[in-house]
Structure 1
């Protein structure tokens, strides 16, 4: 029996020194015999294609101390913080082996139950306050932060932190579902999530920005070995999505040929956003420029980018809402070491969801599982089209990574 087991929700886009610190610290703080992660698909939560495909990121994680890697399907990984966190926590809980959930936060000591209770129970007068701020044209995230601030002064500052927002979402889900996992928040080291400065513990955002600027050596200096060698090889082999030029050309062509009525059928596109997206596509010269033209108080940049992903995938409102209601339909393993193999054996005995390794096995579970697997396969094939050395059909040839 392997207990305790630390769970981590990860994107590793790419895996950097701060992530390595987190893996080691999670094992230490949880006195864990093993570390299991649920890893984002090839399109990530901020609404962009991942720098490396999920298999390459899974191998980097295994080489850096993770024991088991599980997939977070794209219909959850390229979504807002709440949907992303709920699905990831659901998967880790469903394994039946994860006892602790470790995550980073800007202010781990301030993630108090009072904030979580407001977000979870929405007591009076939270809902009227939320509606008031939404009526002023604010995004849901900003409106929620202001409503919470009026009930609990000081909470808005906490909700402004990207990692704090995810951390609160993790805690909220554990409490909402009465999962037996213990939350273990950890102080985030170094640069802020969106920082573009390369410092000692540089953010993934800064590392990707350096790569786009052609500063490969500087970027790689912030990646721990052996993840550094894995990233360097991917860059050399044309197996990395460094820029968004191809992504933008595909998206722009789709936006120009698609009418607003059809665009309005896709997830997170509503209230006239479909018109703004098409109009901006006619004038913008880059993905960043298009995002800037579409962004407003009501529609923050993250939502715009995720809407682009949903449009490319053809993810409709009905499927999107069904996925949020039903949650993940299976647990798909991407990679493991010998300790992870023992974890997988225990999972097969008592997991709350079916454990699968291939799309075929997933598709035979149910119609919903088949749809989830279909979107995942499509996302991976689309990602292959965005890199210099893309290999169509590569996803269906992949086998579990053994380290």
Structure 2
């Protein structure tokens, strides 16, 4: 049985995701789909709209066969480590034959050539990065410019001109870099992203909208039903179910008080020890809060944002404070060790068959709850803590909701 792997957030699962899933199965000629999905907190430093079990159910109803969780240690990272953790998980299953990702270009050729050139971190590229960062630009802009100059010097003008300023192209490059670095035999494919950009907040098509635009629509109208044209019926059903139960939609406003409490109550030295806190950002945080016109995440981000600090970088730093993620646990050396376990969030009947195969093929322990975890998995402890913090955003949360990782079994979708 040929299996394709997808790396997703499904925040929420929408018509564009459905198209990508169906096309991924088609172009890779696969019989089954394994999705590595972020848990409660996401790559851009944001809480997910709905909890990870509900989003896993969306994925299964949309056509995935097995959903496994990308640990929060990786799901909230910049592109390099986000991609590395997800690709390592797909490879660790031992059942994934192909990886298919969306990109603005849809052309995987130039990306593969760049990945092969950069996989082993040539010194000349490091010098280019240092030069471009010294100009005071953000890391993503510096990376794009360094790649352009590096590939131009290598005589590959097509790759040099490739649009790495576009987020899905950049993320796709990091998937390919991860495949190269771990020596994986997984075959990569890419599908061109159509009709809605990754972070496009406006809606310009009758059926396809970005997840960003859908979340904005739900927030502005306070009604998941307004998103109906852009999401499968099963997604709408689950959105309404969780909304009526007081479990969503979730956003940064639900975590303003605990975040501001930590910022105000901790010393600059303590703040400096959180992951993503660099270049004196802890001082900017302490100085910014007394000047804010209102105690909101957006006003804080506006006060902190500079040419060097992108909004996403700042959100990830604030999220590290909220979740208590320390630099020592999320250092490059720690992250380079890779994931420590495969956490199952949901499966179909076909997915059950994949899990049976994984008993022999998987290179990591396969966990269906956190109940049997022990001190060997410090990143699983971070997942449990993240779930507890996330549940605090529910107005109806009970004690058991704070520790759902210990109680909830994977979502199943079987006849």
TM-score normalised according to structure 1 size:
0.94
Q: For residue 396 of structure 2, what is the aligned residue in structure 1?
A: 389
Is the 8 Å Cα contact of residues 75 and 323 (structure 1) preserved in structure 2? no
Distance 2:162 2:30 in 1: 32
The alpha-carbon deviation at position 157 of structure 1 amounts to 5.4
Is the 8 Å Cα contact of residues 369 and 410 (structure 2) preserved in structure 1? no
Distance 1:65 1:201 in 2: 18
Say which of 319, 332, 345 aligns to 1:334.
345
- Secondary structure of the structure 1 residue equivalent to 2:328: helix
Q: For residue 191 of structure 2, what is the aligned residue in structure 1?
A: 186
Aligned 1:62-81 pairs, distance under 5 A: 62-81=60-79
Distance 1:279 1:80 in 2: 26
Could you say if the C-alpha distance between residues 387 and 221 of structure 1 is closer, same or farther in structure 2, counting changes exceeding 3 Å?
A: farther
The alpha-carbon deviation at position 24 of structure 1 amounts to 0.9
Mean CA deviation greater in 135-144 or 198-207: 135-144
- Flag as ranges the 4+ runs of structure 1 deviating above 4 A: none
Q: For residue 165 of structure 1, what is the aligned residue in structure 2?
A: 170
Distance 2:254 2:410 in 1: 29
Q: For residue 378 of structure 1, what is the aligned residue in structure 2?
A: 385
Is the 8 Å Cα contact of residues 38 and 88 (structure 1) preserved in structure 2? yes
For residues 228-267 of structure 1, the C-alpha deviation after alignment (integer angstroms, 9 at most, x for no partner) is 2111211222211344322122211211111110001111
Gaps of 5+ in 1: none
1:121 equivalenced with 2:120 (yes/no): yes
1:325 equivalenced with 2:323 (yes/no): no
Distance 1:14 1:171 in 2: 25
Q: For residue 219 of structure 1, what is the aligned residue in structure 2?
A: 227
The alpha-carbon deviation at position 203 of structure 1 amounts to 0.3
- The number of residue pairs the alignment matches comes to 397
Gaps of 5+ in 2: 153-158
Distance 1:54 1:29 in 2: 28
Distance 2:322 2:149 in 1: 39
Say which of 102, 107, 110 aligns to 1:109.
107
- Secondary structure of the structure 2 residue equivalent to 1:226: helix
Distance 2:71 2:313 in 1: 18
Q: For residue 143 of structure 2, what is the aligned residue in structure 1?
A: 144
The alpha-carbon deviation at position 146 of structure 1 amounts to 1.2
Could you say if the C-alpha distance between residues 65 and 182 of structure 1 is closer, same or farther in structure 2, counting changes exceeding 3 Å?
A: same
Q: For residue 280 of structure 1, what is the aligned residue in structure 2?
A: 288
Distance 1:123 1:174 in 2: 17
- Secondary structure of the structure 2 residue equivalent to 1:36: strand
Distance 1:363 1:205 in 2: 37
For residues 78-121 of structure 1, the C-alpha deviation after alignment (integer angstroms, 9 at most, x for no partner) is 11111111000000000000000011000021551332234323
Is the 8 Å Cα contact of residues 275 and 326 (structure 2) preserved in structure 1? yes
Is the 8 Å Cα contact of residues 371 and 407 (structure 2) preserved in structure 1? no
The alpha-carbon deviation at position 392 of structure 1 amounts to 3.4
The alpha-carbon deviation at position 215 of structure 1 amounts to 5.4
Is the 8 Å Cα contact of residues 48 and 251 (structure 2) preserved in structure 1? no
For residues 49-81 of structure 1, the C-alpha deviation after alignment (integer angstroms, 9 at most, x for no partner) is 100000000011111111001011111111111
Aligned 1:303-382 pairs, distance under 5 A: 303-321=313-331, 322-363=333-374, 366=376, 369=377, 371-382=378-389
Is the 8 Å Cα contact of residues 96 and 186 (structure 2) preserved in structure 1? yes
Could you say if the C-alpha distance between residues 243 and 401 of structure 1 is closer, same or farther in structure 2, counting changes exceeding 3 Å?
A: closer
Could you say if the C-alpha distance between residues 234 and 111 of structure 1 is closer, same or farther in structure 2, counting changes exceeding 3 Å?
A: farther
Q: For residue 156 of structure 2, what is the aligned residue in structure 1?
A: none
TM-score normalised according to structure 2 size:
0.92
Could you say if the C-alpha distance between residues 127 and 243 of structure 1 is closer, same or farther in structure 2, counting changes exceeding 3 Å?
A: closer
Distance 1:327 1:362 in 2: 17
Q: For residue 53 of structure 1, what is the aligned residue in structure 2?
A: 51
Q: For residue 155 of structure 2, what is the aligned residue in structure 1?
A: none
For residues 150-187 of structure 1, the C-alpha deviation after alignment (integer angstroms, 9 at most, x for no partner) is 23356465211111111111111111111010001111
Is the 8 Å Cα contact of residues 151 and 160 (structure 2) preserved in structure 1? yes
Q: For residue 91 of structure 1, what is the aligned residue in structure 2?
A: 89
Distance 1:169 1:318 in 2: 23
Distance 1:293 1:157 in 2: 33
Say which of 246, 267, 271 aligns to 2:275.
267
Is the 8 Å Cα contact of residues 14 and 57 (structure 1) preserved in structure 2? yes
Is the 8 Å Cα contact of residues 120 and 181 (structure 2) preserved in structure 1? no
1:402 equivalenced with 2:409 (yes/no): no
